[in-house]
Structure 1
Amino acid sequence: MWIYQGFTSRGGAMAALLLLLLPVFFPTLFTTFISASPSILSESIIAKPRHSSLFKSALQRETTPEEKAEIWTPLANQGWKPVTDSGLFSTELSGKSEGYLQVFLDGGLNQQRMGICDAVAVAKILNATLVIPYLEVNPVWQDSSSFMDIFDVDHFIDVLKDDISIVKELPDEFSWSTREYYSTAIRPTRIKTAPVHASANWYSENVSPVLRSYGIAAIAPFSHRLAFDNMPKDIQHLRCKVNFRALVFVPHIRALGDALIHRLRYPASKDEGDGENYPEETNGPQKFVAVHLRFDKDMAAHSACDFGGGKAEKLSLAKYRQIYWQGRVLNSQFTDEELRSQGRCPLTPEEVGLLLAALGFGNNTRLYLASHKVYGGAARIAALRRLFPLMENKKSLASSEERGEIKGKASLLAAVDYYVGMHSDIFISASPGNMHNAMVGHRTYHNLKTIRPNMQLLGQLFLNKNLTWPEFQDAVIEGHANRQGEIRLRKPAKSLYTYPAPDCMCNA
Structure 2
Amino acid sequence: MLKCPSWRCLKGLWGFLGLIGYYCPLVAGYKPICSISYQAIAQRCISCDPEAEEAFKYLKQAMVSILILSLPDFCKPFILETDAFGSEVATVLTQGKGLVAYFSQTLSDSAQRKSMRTVKNIPKYAPAQFYIDNVLHRIKEKKIMALKPFVDRLGYDNVPPEINRLRCRVNYHALKFLPEIEQMADLLVSRMRNRTGSSNPYMALHLRFEKGMVGLSFCDFVGTREEKARMAEYRKKEWPRRYKNGSHLWQLALQKRKEGRCPLEPGEVAVILRAMGYPKETQIYVASGQVYGGQNRMAPLRNMFPNLVTKEELASKDELAAFRKHVTSLAALDFLVCLKSDVFVMTHGGNFAKLIIGARRYMGHRQKSIKPDKGLMSKSFGDPYMGWATFVEDVVVTHQTRTGLPEETFPNYDLWENPLTPCMCKA
TM bucket (normalised to shorter chain) is: 0.5 to 0.7
CA RMSD after TM alignment: 3.2
Tell whether 2:285 aligns with 1:368: yes
Contact 1:302–1:329, Cα closer than 8 Å, also in 2: no
Q: Give the match's secondary structure for 2:242.
A: coil
Cα distance in 2 for residues equivalent to 1:222 and 1:346? 24
Look at both structures and tell me which one has the larger radius of gyration over its CA atoms: 2
Normalised to the residue count of structure 2, the TM-score between the two structures is: 0.67
What letter corresponds to residue 421 of structure 2 in structure 1?
Answer: P
Q: Give the match's secondary structure for 1:291.
A: strand
Q: Give the match's secondary structure for 2:380.
A: helix
Match of 2:112 in 1: 176
Cα distance in 2 for residues equivalent to 1:216 and 1:249? 16
CA deviations on 1:286-313 (whole Å, 9 max, x unpaired) are 1111001111000111112222113222
1:27-426 to structure 2, matched below 5 A, reads 176=112, 178-179=114-115, 192=121, 194-205=122-133, 220-268=148-196, 281=198, 285-328=199-242, 332=249, 334-407=251-324, 409-426=326-343
Q: Displacement of 1:263 after TM fit?
A: 1.5
Q: Displacement of 1:341 after TM fit?
A: 1.4
Q: Give the match's secondary structure for 2:203.
A: strand
Cα distance in 2 for residues equivalent to 1:369 and 1:478? 26
**Where does structure 1 lack aligned partners over 5 or more consecutive residues?**
1-172, 183-188, 270-280
Cα distance in 1 for residues equivalent to 2:143 and 2:425? 38
Match of 1:101 in 2: none
CA deviations on 1:163-197 (whole Å, 9 max, x unpaired) are xxxxxxxxxx9983534x99xxxxxx9663x4311
Q: Displacement of 1:329 after TM fit?
A: 6.4
Match of 1:59 in 2: none
Q: Displacement of 1:264 after TM fit?
A: 1.5
CA deviations on 1:450-504 (whole Å, 9 max, x unpaired) are 0010010011111123322111111111111110011012221122111111111
Cα distance in 1 for residues equivalent to 2:406 and 2:190? 29
Match of 2:379 in 1: 460
Cα distance in 2 for residues equivalent to 1:258 and 1:210? 36
CA deviations on 1:381-419 (whole Å, 9 max, x unpaired) are 111011001111112211222112223532111111111
What letter corresponds to residue 414 of structure 2 in structure 1?
Answer: S
Q: 1:476 to 1:225 in 2, by over 3 A?
A: same
Contact 1:343–1:457, Cα closer than 8 Å, also in 2: yes
Q: 1:348 to 1:219 in 2, by over 3 A?
A: closer
Contact 1:438–1:497, Cα closer than 8 Å, also in 2: yes
Q: 1:377 to 1:215 in 2, by over 3 A?
A: closer
Q: Give the match's secondary structure for 1:368.
A: strand
Q: Displacement of 1:243 after TM fit?
A: 1.0
CA deviations on 1:211-258 (whole Å, 9 max, x unpaired) are 999999986444322112322222221211111011122111111111
Q: Give the match's secondary structure for 2:180.
A: helix
Q: Displacement of 1:332 after TM fit?
A: 3.4
Tell whether 2:418 aligns with 1:499: yes
Cα distance in 2 for residues equivalent to 1:244 and 1:322? 40
Q: 1:210 to 1:332 in 2, by over 3 A?
A: farther
Match of 2:359 in 1: 442
Which stretch shifts more, 461-470 or 386-395?
461-470
Contact 1:321–1:327, Cα closer than 8 Å, also in 2: no
Contact 1:304–1:318, Cα closer than 8 Å, also in 2: no
Cα distance in 2 for residues equivalent to 1:210 and 1:204? 10
Match of 2:28 in 1: none
Cα distance in 2 for residues equivalent to 1:215 and 1:436? 30
Cα distance in 2 for residues equivalent to 1:389 and 1:450? 21
Q: Give the match's secondary structure for 2:200.
A: coil
Q: 1:264 to 1:190 in 2, by over 3 A?
A: closer
Contact 2:119–2:135, Cα closer than 8 Å, also in 1: no
Match of 2:24 in 1: none
Work out the number of aligned pairs and report it. Answer: 315
Cα distance in 1 for residues equivalent to 2:148 and 2:388? 51
Contact 2:220–2:250, Cα closer than 8 Å, also in 1: no
Q: 1:175 to 1:481 in 2, by over 3 A?
A: closer
What letter corresponds to residue 252 of structure 1 in structure 2?
Answer: E
Cα distance in 1 for residues equivalent to 2:414 and 2:124? 13
Q: 1:507 to 1:383 in 2, by over 3 A?
A: farther
**Where does structure 2 lack aligned partners over 5 or more consecutive residues?**
1-108
Q: Give the match's secondary structure for 2:348.
A: coil
Cα distance in 2 for residues equivalent to 1:216 and 1:398? 34
Cα distance in 2 for residues equivalent to 1:209 and 1:287? 47
Cα distance in 2 for residues equivalent to 1:253 and 1:215? 24
Q: 1:191 to 1:399 in 2, by over 3 A?
A: closer
Match of 1:95 in 2: none
What letter corresponds to residue 178 of structure 1 in structure 2?
Answer: K
CA deviations on 1:413-437 (whole Å, 9 max, x unpaired) are 1111111111111000111122221
Taking only the aligned residue pairs, the percentage that are identical comes to 36
Which stretch shifts more, 250-259 or 311-320?
311-320
Contact 1:191–1:207, Cα closer than 8 Å, also in 2: no
